Homo-oligomer: A and B are copies of this chain.
Amino acid sequence: MRCEVVAIGTELLLGVIVDTNSSWIGEQLALAGIDSVYQVKVGDNFQRIEAAIRQALERSDAVICCGGLGPTQDDITRDVIARVMGVDLRRDEAMAEHIRKLFEARGRTMSPNNLRQADRPVGAEFIREMPGTAPGLLCSIGEKVVYAVPGVPREMKEMMTGTVIPDLRRRSGQSSVIRSRTVRTWGLSESRIDELLTNRMAELDKTGNPTIAFQASGIDGIKVRLVAKCDTETAAKAMLDAEEHQVRAVLGEAVFGLDEQSMEHVVLDLLAARGMTLAAFETFTGGILASRLTAIDGTMKTFRGATVAPAEAGASLEAEAKAAARLASRAFDASVVLAAIEAVGREGHAGGTVLLAAVIGGVEHVELFKFPGDRVRLREYSVISLLDLVRRQLIAA
């Protein structure tokens, strides 16, 4: 079963909006075991949208049109699909009423244009989920199918998850279960991970199941992604468990978490479990560490706070970093204190060198780190490395 994505909107071609929808849909299709070999972007032009959908229907079994379902005259996806189906576009009165009520309930006045969203090609079905005012469409054309979902990411995602993906799986006769797991790492370079996993990946290539891929993700570390395809949920879980075990055996302590567990989450959890608290003196990282920690709701019991300020000049880099950490320790009365100071141009250090300092239960740990990349990256790498320093000390203790 093959499915093609057609993203519709002139603003996508002009680069005003980056087409993250197609990427997300591509990922969901892959996880559902549906092949996707082309993705096309096309502007708000009737002939060109029509040509794109017709070609997609020729080379694939299913087409997902994303965008062009809004209320304005530019939004013509419904009209084009009716043409491709060779049917009329008719107003659905029940849907029109529903849309009217949505506007009423929100206390907004509806422009008459909004009723265009209640139009439906004869024979097409509305998609059940409707988080906005634009209903999606499910249009069978012979053995094939065209879906239309809005370009608003939240609305698109709800329709994809609730209707499109299950419908595609039903049509493809797929009963297998595809599950993924992301093993999150920090402390090994991408090429080092490649080296360490290369044998295992070659072995897995023989069966193609499970698969391993990895990706550098800045402040979120390097992600190793496992995908398993099995007959049952239980079998998929077992396969992922086994593979995770293998990957952990190879990558060791570099593995800090799974899936959505960020380094911040992991460190805050480790600290909370030990009744410890955290504070920081952010000289080089300038508030990034604090903004990441406070992005997680309800962390202020464990994360006591941070000071963003220049460090006071010390006799050496190390003295300076330790003094900064002591200042934060006094200000916030925390059991773990972090500080990062840029080392470039001092004590003979080249660009990209940062001094990371952690005081954990009174014991000072200072490490000199060298990172590739510009200042933006250097600040991000410093944040995840500081937290990783704490993590490694806590799990070793």
Docked CA distance A286–B294 (Å): 6
Considering only residues 241-296 of chain A, those with a C-beta below 8 Å from chain B are 282, 285-295
Docked CA distance A309–B287 (Å): 12
CB of A147, distance to nearest CB on chain B (Å): 17
Docked CA distance A36–B40 (Å): 13
Check A13 against B41 for contact (C-beta < 8 Å).
no
Q: How many copies does the complex hold?
A: 2
Q: Tell me if A335 is interfacial: C-beta within 8 Å of chain B.
A: no
CB of A362, distance to nearest CB on chain B (Å): 22
Docked CA distance A354–B93 (Å): 42
Check A25 against B15 for contact (C-beta < 8 Å).
yes
Q: Which residue of B lies closest to A41 (CB)?
A: B39
A37 touches which of B13, B17, B376 (Cβ 8 Å): B13
B residues near A17, Cβ cutoff 8 Å: 23, 215
Q: Which residue of B lies closest to A290 (CB)?
A: B287
Docked CA distance A308–B294 (Å): 9
Q: Tell me if A24 is interfacial: C-beta within 8 Å of chain B.
A: yes
B residues near A48, Cβ cutoff 8 Å: 37-38
Q: Tell me if A332 is interfacial: C-beta within 8 Å of chain B.
A: yes
Check A42 against B37 for contact (C-beta < 8 Å).
yes
B residues near A291, Cβ cutoff 8 Å: 285-288, 290-291, 308
Per-residue interface assignment for chain A, residues 20 to 32, with 1 indicating a CB less than 8 Å from any chain B CB and 0 otherwise: 1011111110100
Docked CA distance A13–B300 (Å): 40
Given contacts A287-B287, A290-B287, A304-B309, contact A26 B15 (CB under 8 A): yes
Q: Tell me if A202 is interfacial: C-beta within 8 Å of chain B.
A: no
Q: Which residue of B lies closest to A291 (CB)?
A: B287
B residues near A289, Cβ cutoff 8 Å: 287
Docked CA distance A347–B285 (Å): 36
Check B309 against A305 for contact (C-beta < 8 Å).
yes
A308 touches which of B26, B40, B41, B287 (Cβ 8 Å): B287
Check B19 against A19 for contact (C-beta < 8 Å).
yes
A30 touches which of B14, B39, B285 (Cβ 8 Å): B14
Check A305 against B310 for contact (C-beta < 8 Å).
yes
Q: Which residue of B lies closest to A331 (CB)?
A: B307
Check A213 against B16 for contact (C-beta < 8 Å).
yes
Docked CA distance A50–B179 (Å): 33
Docked CA distance A344–B301 (Å): 20
Docked CA distance A228–B23 (Å): 32
Check B39 against A26 for contact (C-beta < 8 Å).
no
CB of A22, distance to nearest CB on chain B (Å): 7
Docked CA distance A305–B305 (Å): 13
Check A23 against B30 for contact (C-beta < 8 Å).
no
Q: Tell me if A297 is interfacial: C-beta within 8 Å of chain B.
A: yes
Docked CA distance A103–B309 (Å): 41
Considering only residues 322-375 of chain A, those with a C-beta below 8 Å from chain B are 331-332, 375
Contacts beyond the supplied A18-B20, A39-B41, A290-B290: 11 A-B pairs with Cβ under 8 Å: A12-B26, A13-B39, A14-B26, A16-B213, A17-B215, A37-B45, A38-B42, A287-B292, A288-B291, A294-B308, A305-B310
Task: List, sorted by A's number, 6 A–B pairs whose CB atoms are closer than 8 Å.
Answer: A13-B30, A19-B22, A287-B291, A287-B293, A287-B294, A288-B291
